[in-house]
Structure 1
Amino acid sequence: MSFALDGVGLTHANGFAALTDISLRAERGERIALIGPSGAGKTSLISLLGTALAPTAGRAAVLATPLAGLSAEQLKALRARIGTVHQAPPIPGRQRVVTAVLAGKLGQWPAWKSMASLLYPLDVAGAQSALEHVDLADKLFARCDQLSGGQLQRVGVARVLYQQPDLILADEPVSALDPALALATVRLLVDAAERRGATLVASLHAVDLALSCFPRIVGIKAGRIAFDLPAGEVTLPLLHELYASEGEELPMQAHEPRFLSQAAANDAATQAACC
């Protein structure tokens, strides 16, 4: 079991309920896309699974470890097994790309090795290999503040590839990339998770990208799960209901029917015939 959430809620100190009565489970190796309108709670759910936020209601376990009552040492060990790709990677601008990638192992290395690597990169070859997967090997020793937003996102992906975690969480990991590069990057994450038997949960704004790359789709709206279905069962009526607050235009990158599930494509054809 990769994670189990039972009746989980998350209410912030200001009283805002970000998540309400979330029950969601994933077995090892599953690949799940979270979709939904802005402010639906996708990032909060990713943060909770990554242990950055603690639930205020219900029960939660990640990588077979109940989150309640963990000591600081236990929490550190658990976080070392979780890799997160952020929409805006928290990477210091003056840091070198090689150091940013090697930071993926800081939770697994002993303290002396982590400190030494901050001063002098200890696994340049490993960092370069990870960067080659995201086409940034030529930026190995560049400063991070010299990179574009899209390049920084790919450095974040390379860091998780280098980390080799058991649970990969991705929060809008390709928001700054063009459609072709976004598709290639998401496929890279999917392939990396599949090769290692790791679980992948990705929050994606582009519905077509989610449907084309992930076998399981979880729709989130107003802090609740709207549906949890195989990609082939996600239809256009479901999507329009999910994004009703954002109007009729669904968030797509390719705007092509071939990126929709077969069920959604059938609905699109039916709507076109009727209009």
Structure 2
Amino acid sequence: MSIVFKEVGKTYDNGVEALKNISVRIEQGEFITIIGLSGAGKSTFLKCVNRIHDVTAGELYVNDVNPNTLHGKDLRAYKRKIGMVFQSFNLISKTTVLRNVLASRVASMPWWKTALGLYSKADKIVALEALEKVGILEKAYTRADQLSGGQQQRVALARTVAQEPNVILADEPVASLDPITAKQVMDDFKRINEKENITVIANMHHVDLALQYAKRVIGIKDGLIVFDGPVDKVNEAVLVHVYGRKLTDDDYIGE
């Protein structure tokens, strides 16, 4: 699934220009991290891909289809192939981990089965396999509110994997986690990217994690892409250009 931005702009109703003249191509199976200051446009970039937001200038194509033109059934089918992981876990706290993961299968079920919670054996297998891929299969029948923050984020990732997407978009997925747990979750993203050939595009607050896990880095500043290249080309001068300053300890996750 290729993603192509052609001179894309996004201006919100309040006049804020979040993206300006963005042109970039992303191929299936890439692992990309997006870096930049808060408010630079990183989240807007992701939300245009899964059409939480429509672009307001230029053109965006995903597998040669412009998602801004899709409606109804076609839009729902498009969104099923693009998973999203947020900083907040968005789990149903008082139900089991397995039930939370199975929620990703609802879009492909008849409405009456959804209403009755009648998941097929095949759906349950997909959900359990997704939990195994993130290393918490043993928690399948544990209530979500009994898990640690890191475990909850892994459930959120498993739920997205069970959706069987081509692309996973992650918006600051480890920003609220401690250093050790953050690395465990990023290891899950890397393993899924490599074994499943799922494209991962992650906005990252912590620069060291962004550089450790990505193969390609995109730097966004004031709505513009100011760097796009392989991780080994990111040096101090590039980071100063992206952030407009030298980085401090707060920009790194530490130990």
Question: 2:28 maps to which residue?
Answer: 28
Which protein is bigger by CA-based radius of gyration? 1
Paired residues of 1:4 and 1:61 also in contact (CA < 8 A): yes
Q: Percent identical across equivalent pairs? A: 38
Deviates more, 1:169-178 or 1:210-219: 169-178
Residue 231 (structure 2) aligns with? 231
Please state whether the residue corresponding to 2:170 is helix, strand or coil. strand
**TM-score of the superposition, structure 1-length normalised?**
0.83
**TM-score, with normalisation over the residues of structure 2?**
0.89
What is the aligned residue count? 253
Instruction: For residues 203-256 of structure 1, give each alpha carbon's deviation from its aligned partner in whole angstroms, at most 9, with x where no partner exists.
Output: 1111111111111000011111111011011111111222236x541611247x
Contact 1:2 1:199 in 2 (8 A): no
Find the aligned partners of 1:27 and 1:129 in 2 and give their Cα distance. Answer: 26
Deviation at 1:77, TM superposition (A): 0.5
Equivalent in the alignment of 1:68:
68
Contact 2:93–2:144 under 8 Å retained in 1: yes
Residue 104 of structure 1: aligned partner = 104
In the alignment, the residues of structure 2 paired with residue 231 and residue 34 of structure 1 have an alpha-carbon distance, to the nearest angstrom, of 11
Q: Distance in 2 between matches of 1:114 and 1:174?
A: 31
Deviation of 1:150 after TM superposition, in Å, equals 3.1
Q: Which secondary structure state, in structure 2, belongs to the residue aligned with residue 107 of structure 1?
A: helix
Aligned 8 A contact 1:79 1:107 in 2: no
What residue identity is the alignment partner of 1:249? T
Higher relative contact order at CA 8 Å, sep ≥6: structure 1 or structure 2? 2
Counterpart CA distance in 1 for 2:91 and 2:17 is: 29
1:222 matched to which residue of 2?
222
* One-letter amino acid of the structure 1 residue matched with residue 64 of structure 2: A
- CA distance, structure 1, for counterparts of residue 135 and residue 26 of structure 2: 31
Structure 1, gaps ≥5 residues long:
256-275
What RMSD, in angstroms, separates the aligned Cα atoms of the two structures?
2.3
Structure 1 residue matching 2:47: 3-state secondary structure? helix
Deviations 1:94-116 (A, max 9, x none): 34322211122222334344334
Structure 2 spans left out of the alignment, 5+ residues: none
Distance in 2 between residues matched to 1:87 and 1:6, nearest whole Å: 28
| Counterpart check, 1:14 vs 2:14 | yes
Q: Secondary structure at the match of 2:182?
A: helix
